[in-house]
Amino acid sequence: MRVLITGAAGFIGSSVAERLVGRGDDVVGLDNFDPFYDRRLKERNLAALRGAPAFRLVEGELLDAGLLERLLAGVDAVVHLAALAGVRPSLAEPARYMRVNVEGTTTLLEACRRAGVRRLVVASSSSVYGARSEVPFSEADSCDRPASPYAASKKATETICATYHDLSGLGISCLRFFTVYGPRQRPEMAICRFVRLALEGRALPMFGDGSSGRDYTFIDDIVDGTVAALDHVHDAFRIYNLGGSRPVLLRELIAAIERAVGRPVQIEARPPQPGDVPITCADVTLAERELGYAPRVRLDEGLARFVAWYRSQPP
């Protein structure tokens, strides 16, 4: 199978690309190396793929319809992971988030329709569920009150995907990722930032009283679910939760990081942040039934693997 991956140099994109190339697929990667974080980190993500005959990376923009048309020639399926990420940064640039995440996805969908590509997997986010406290979150739950522009852009992405399925018959699976972590995680995300600060002997910022909870999901489990969705997309429109199915309180996460790094950490108390939600927790029943998805990596194991990887990286 020949697959186009958007956002291929990122945390999840490079991990999915390696899995697909490793099993024998041909992969074309698209990434614009947005300066949201250091380009050198994305280049490291691609190290294992550089030189692989079955992988080709193209640097370019998702909003470039002509480029997408050229890249989609001969492609069988698309894994769409490119997006502006992050709840807090979206508060400062809401219009840009809508343009890249919603208009960019629409540009890709239209290019797929024109090129005859019928199979797409599209990244969504657990943030679409908003500031709710009833757990677990099910795909059938109402998602009409996103708590940030980023969350709203991901909900809008799902909606335009559903529209393209209804009008054009595209087979699309939207995956609601729940707080993905592991090797190559973006540097501003909580676990990567906390581990870095802990290893440097600096205080960890704790927003709120530590009672907020997140369903942390190890990257290998997310790759398993993404590849399974790619293999199962046919003519339907589907939304799947991909999560670990166990919320971890912020104070529990900090204690787990202490165990992983082997030293106590200092805490710097800070007020809650706008756009943050109190808890996330995935009901993965649908993904388990239709995709065979089952999260396997527990938090302590995942953190140990992340810390070992982090310590192995060059400065």
How far apart CA 254 and CA 182 sit, in angstroms, is: 16
pLDDT tier, 46 (very low <50, low <70, confident <90, very high otherwise) = very high
pLDDT on residue 133: 82
Go through 259-284 and write b for each residue having 16 or more CB atoms within 10 A of its CB, e for each that does not: ebbeeebeeeeeeeeebbbebbbbbb
Using the structure block, give the residue that is written with the tokens 């989609």: 72
pLDDT tens sequence across 289-309? 999 999 999 999 999 999 999
Q: Number of C-alpha atoms within 13 angstroms, CB side, residue 75?
A: 29
pLDDT on residue 105: 98
Token pair belonging to 202: 């600096």
Is the pLDDT score of 132 beyond 90? no
pLDDT on residue 259: 97
pLDDT on residue 183: 98
Q: What is the rounded average pLDDT of the residues 41-47?
A: 96
Contact between residue 133 and residue 72 where contact means Cβ atoms under 8 Å apart: no
Is the pLDDT score of 312 beyond 90? yes
Q: What is the rounded average pLDDT of the residues 126-152?
A: 94
pLDDT tier, 234 (very low <50, low <70, confident <90, very high otherwise) = confident
Is the pLDDT score of 100 beyond 90? yes
- Residue percentage of the chain with pLDDT more than 70: 100
Contact between residue 44 and residue 313 where contact means Cβ atoms under 8 Å apart: yes
Contact between residue 183 and residue 219 where contact means Cβ atoms under 8 Å apart: yes
Burial of 304 (0-12, 13-18, 19+ CB in 10 A): middle
Active-site residue, selected from the candidate residues 97, 129, 150, 240 = 150
Quote the DSSP letter at residue 29.
Answer: E
pLDDT tier, 34 (very low <50, low <70, confident <90, very high otherwise) = very high
- Report the mean per-residue pLDDT for the chain: 96
pLDDT on residue 308: 98
Using the structure block, give the residue that is written with the tokens 């769409």: 80
pLDDT on residue 128: 97
Helix runs in the chain, H state only: 11-22, 39-45, 65-71, 87-92, 94-97, 104-115, 149-168, 190-199, 219-232, 250-261, 285-291, 299-312
Q: What is the rounded average pLDDT of the residues 173-193?
A: 97
pLDDT tens sequence across 73-85? 999 999 999 999 9
2-178+216-244+281-295: CATH class: alpha beta
Residue 73: count other Cβ atoms within 10 Å of its Cβ.
11
Is the pLDDT score of 275 beyond 90? no
- 150 carries an active-site annotation: yes
Rounded to two decimals, the pTM is 0.97
How far apart CA 211 and CA 279 sit, in angstroms, is: 9
Contact between residue 246 and residue 218 where contact means Cβ atoms under 8 Å apart: no
Is the pLDDT score of 276 beyond 90? no
pLDDT on residue 52: 95
Token pair belonging to 82: 């490119």
Separation of first and last alpha carbons in the chain: 37
Using the structure block, give the residue that is written with the tokens 């529990």: 252
Q: Phi first, then psi: what are they for 146, rounded to 5°?
A: -60, 145
Cα–Cα distances in Å, from 275 out to 128, 146, 148, 233?
12, 9, 5, 32
Query: Which is more confidently placed, 276 or 92?
Result: 92
Q: What is the rounded average pLDDT of the residues 267-280?
A: 89
pLDDT on residue 305: 98
pLDDT on residue 273: 83
pLDDT tier, 5 (very low <50, low <70, confident <90, very high otherwise) = very high
pLDDT on residue 7: 98
pLDDT on residue 315: 81
Residue 234: count other Cβ atoms within 10 Å of its Cβ.
10
